[in-house]
Structure 1
Amino acid sequence: MEDFDGLSDHFILRMYEFIRHEVHVDASAGTRLIGLATRQRADRLLKEIDSRGLFQKPIDWPDDPAMESDRCDAPAFGLLKTT
């Protein structure tokens, strides 16, 4: 995949493991900071890992219907409502 040209196998695996760690932290804390874009990035990384003949266990994503649409109802940080 052209997104990952020039990156070492080790770096690709570390990026995937970083996402796995963040998903675990979110699930443990009961938050959802990891969204659809991150899941799509992880999917592309896993395809690249497979294409390189490497092995990595797929991420166990928590069941979260909001993840499908990447909708977040939380207010944006740093924005204050003024009247």
Structure 2
Amino acid sequence: MKDERLMAFYEAVRQQVILDGKSRYRFAGEGVKAYADKLREEMDRRRLRFTPIDWPEDGCR
């Protein structure tokens, strides 16, 4: 997968988490968090620069 595509997927998850924080509904659950963690691991491996996801303190629902 190209670096740009990898970063776009991660950014989409990050934006969803931000939107979830503004809503009473949660779409980014544990499965999405696991997916984001895999993406982050690959971006770290490739030494890409990215903005980390600020997951809510109450966890994913």
- Normalised to the residue count of structure 2, the TM-score between the two structures is 0.89
The aligned residue for residue 3 of structure 1 is none
The aligned residue for residue 40 of structure 1 is 34
The Cα shift of 1:22 comes to 0.5
The Cα shift of 1:57 comes to 2.1
The Cα shift of 1:32 comes to 1.1
What is the number of residues matched between the two proteins? 61
Please, which runs of 5 or more residues in structure 1 have no aligned partner? 1-6, 71-83
**Identity fraction in percent:** 34
The aligned residue for residue 15 of structure 2 is 21
- Structure of greater relative contact order (alpha carbons < 8 Å, 6+ residues apart): 2
**Counterpart check, 1:55 vs 2:49:** yes
RMSD over aligned Cα atoms: 1.2
Runs of 4+ in 1 over 4 A off after TM superposition: none
- Normalised to the residue count of structure 1, the TM-score between the two structures is 0.68
Higher radius of gyration, 1 or 2: 1
